[in-house]
Amino acid sequence: MIEIFYKSKGHILSEVNLQVLENLGLDDVLWIDLNNPTGEEKHAAEDFLNTTLQSRAQAEEIESSSRYSETETTIFANTNFLIPGPEEYSSEPVSFILSEGILVTLRHAPLRTLSEVQRRLLNNYRIYPTGYHIMVSILENRIDVDADLVEILAKEITQLSRRIDLGESMGEDFLLDVNQLQENTMVIRENGVDKQRVISSILKSDKFPRDVYSKLEVLNKDVDSLINHANFSFERLEYLQNTVLGLINLEQNKLMRIFTFVSLLLMPPTLIASIYGMNIKLPVIGGEKIWDFVLLIGMMLFSVLMALFLFRKRKMIK
């Protein structure tokens, strides 16, 4: 799908028909948004700007030269936008191409950030005189959305912490929840670092209008703050994970302690029964003297009581 935003009689109009490009000049168009475009739509944008748009594979490359590059007439920038899901977050690469003051965005999924900026552009285009201003606004809006995701993540971590404080059962499901939040935190951090690289590259460029640089410096600081928050959230999750593993180990140690205690209690009676079982005849199997049997039982009980006394004396049991 292609959507073209162009100036007409003091207003901004949008058109989804690529044929409108044939009747427009470079000074008329502000933004060409390509959302999962067809080959025809992509070629139409390339012919209009006399440039080549990047492929999805190029947009996903992590080299610095692939994230941001300039020529005499065109700027290419690639960054990832987070798409939150029910449980996990995914990244969608977005390409920005700036040529003759016109912005071209190339993506393959619907993004709320771009839709919001489009709405603002149609309502008040005077604050977006060029494609450079539109791109900076998109980055600004995206960083605000990322900040909201960090806040949501912090609330989810707090809920997990409360579950531990309330003494809820901690098992495999809890650890899997912690692991998923760790993955989401790393994705947020990676996206923050990626945007920081792009913004830093723009700040080094002399092609952008001078009035956007102060805003870019603020955005750079905001991204740095988001990265710090993401790092702190990851540390909290590691702490929760270690706490849960420690509690699980304590429960396992308690069970092993009980089994060890029962085994030690039964060892003396078992030894006595084994020794005397070879040398006397019990009443139940034809023996005549019942007192031998009573003495045997008494020795077993005495050994158990002695074991309990020693355990308590050494504070092995309460």
Q: Does domain 2-248 have CATH number 3.30.460.20?
A: yes
* DSSP β-ladder status, 29-35 and 102-107: parallel
Q: What is the pLDDT of residue 175?
A: 80
Contact between 3 and 15 (Cβ < 8 Å): yes
pTM attached to this predicted model: 0.74
What order of strands is seen across the sheet that includes strand 68-70? 11-15, 2-8, 29-35, 102-107, 89-99, 74-84, 68-70
Low-confidence spans in the chain with pLDDT less than 50: 284
Q: What is the pLDDT of residue 221?
A: 92
Q: Which residues pair with 91 in a beta bridge?
A: 82
pLDDT digits (tens, 9 = 90+) for 59-89: 666 565 567 888 888 888 888 888 887 778 8
Distance CA 267, CA 241 (A): 39
Q: What is the pLDDT of residue 88?
A: 81
| Structure-block tokens of residue 215 | 């805003």
Q: For residue 89, what is the enclosing H or E element?
A: strand 89-99
Q: What is the pLDDT of residue 63?
A: 62
Q: What is the pLDDT of residue 277?
A: 65
Instruction: State the Rg of the chain over Cα.
Output: 35
Contact between 30 and 66 (Cβ < 8 Å): no
pLDDT digits (tens, 9 = 90+) for 119-155: 888 888 788 888 899 999 999 999 998 888 888 888 8
Q: Where are the domains positioned within the chain?
A: 2-248, 252-313
Contact between 230 and 189 (Cβ < 8 Å): yes
* DSSP β-ladder status, 2-8 and 29-35: antiparallel
Q: What is the pLDDT of residue 239?
A: 85
Distance CA 25, CA 41 (A): 17
pLDDT digits (tens, 9 = 90+) for 243-268: 887 777 777 777 787 777 777 777 77
Q: Which residues contact 69 (CB under 8 A, 6 or more apart)?
A: 75, 76
DSSP-H helix ranges across 166-212 = 172-204
